[in-house]
């Protein structure tokens, strides 16, 4: 069974796709689905313009999102634009650092974090892996929604696409200052309304030329998410692999 690890949780676990040295940055683990959902013509480079207010604008947009839920479609393309893998699912995020990410299909998988630990449950394998959650934005892009973004400019150079070149909402591009990272940029797009900013998609471009896109729909900003959504109790009889430092 081939497994996709989503780049949103951690870039390091992906070899061609979304976290390899550490599972902590993992946002999601999902299995391959075969449908070509994303139109590759939508994935292209953008001309960007640095602005002094880009960081402040992104921080202000993210700060008002205390909780978040959405369905998602994730697809990965190679450097030639050919689709390699795609998967669908549902995610929920709450501050500080809480995450629930579930993929759909024949092989369902569930990723849950309470902000300290992260559980990866593979029902088909009857196995749960537990790791420490990496709370650094540079390692765990999902923390853009669930983490502290006050120092986001310490990890990234932030740009905003000129509005004349962006017909689908407000687009921010984050480029890591650490050139040893396995990705070149993270793009975050919001659809602006009169009252709220709705996250519509993310695009991750890695050093190998691969592009992973995550499109969000049925988005809810600040829904009422209960704490027990972010607590995982392993089902009876499953194997538990606890890889946390000083496992408890």
Q: What is the pLDDT of residue 61?
A: 92
Q: What gap in Å lies between CA 188 and CA 144, rounded to an integer?
A: 10
pLDDT grade for 178, boundaries at 50, 70 and 90: confident
Residues 6+ apart with CB under 8 A from 95: 66, 67, 146, 147
Q: Say what the pLDDT of residue 51 is.
A: 59
In this prediction the pTM is 0.77
Average pLDDT over residues 201-221: 92
Average pLDDT of 32-52?
45
Mean pLDDT, range 188-215, rounded to an integer: 88
- Average pLDDT estimate for 75-87: 88
User: Among 182, 177, 220, which residue's Cα sits nearest to residue 204?
Assistant: 182
Provide the pLDDT for residue 7.
52
In whole angstroms, what separates CA 202 from the centre of its chain? 8
Task: State both tokens at 103.
Answer: 């993929």
Q: How many CA within 13 A on the CB side of residue 155? A: 21
Q: What percent of the chain has pLDDT over 90?
A: 43
Which range is least confidently modeled, 30-39, 127-136, 222-231?
30-39
Condensed to tens digits (0 to 9), the pLDDT of residues 91-116 reads 999 999 899 999 887 667 899 999 99
pLDDT tens-digit series, residues 115-165: 999 999 998 899 999 999 877 766 667 778 888 888 888 888 999 886 554
Residue 183 pLDDT grade (very low, low, confident, very high; cuts 50, 70, 90): confident
- Whether the pLDDT of residue 54 is over 70: the answer is yes
């Amino acid at each position: 069974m081939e497994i996709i690890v989503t780049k949103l949780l951690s870039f390091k676990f992906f070899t061609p796709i979304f976290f390899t040295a550490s599972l902590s940055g993992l946002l999601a683990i999902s299995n391959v689905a075969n449908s070509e959902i994303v139109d590759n013509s939508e994935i292209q480079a953008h001309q960007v313009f640095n602005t002094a207010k880009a960081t402040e604008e992104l921080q202000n947009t993210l700060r008002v999102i205390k909780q978040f839920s959405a369905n998602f479609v994730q697809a990965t393309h190679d450097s030639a634009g050919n689709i390699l893998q795609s998967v669908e699912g549902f995610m929920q995020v709450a501050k500080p650092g809480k995450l629930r990410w579930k993929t759909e299909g024949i092989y369902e998988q569930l990723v849950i974090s309470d902000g300290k630990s992260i559980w990866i449950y593979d029902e088909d394998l009857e196995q749960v892996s537990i790791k420490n959650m990496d709370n650094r934005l540079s390692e765990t892009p999902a923390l853009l929604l669930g983490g502290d973004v006050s120092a986001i400019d310490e990890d990234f150079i932030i740009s905003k696409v000129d509005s004349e070149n962006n017909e689908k909402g407000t687009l921010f591009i984050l480029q890591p200052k650490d050139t040893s990272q396995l990705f070149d940029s993270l793009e975050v797009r919001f659809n602006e309304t009169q009252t709220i900013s709705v996250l519509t998609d993310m695009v991750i471009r890695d050093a190998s030329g691969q592009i992973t896109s995550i499109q969000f729909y049925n988005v809810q900003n600040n829904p009422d998410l209960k704490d027990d959504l972010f607590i995982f109790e392993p089902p009876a009889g499953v194997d538990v692999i606890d890889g946390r430092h000083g496992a408890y």
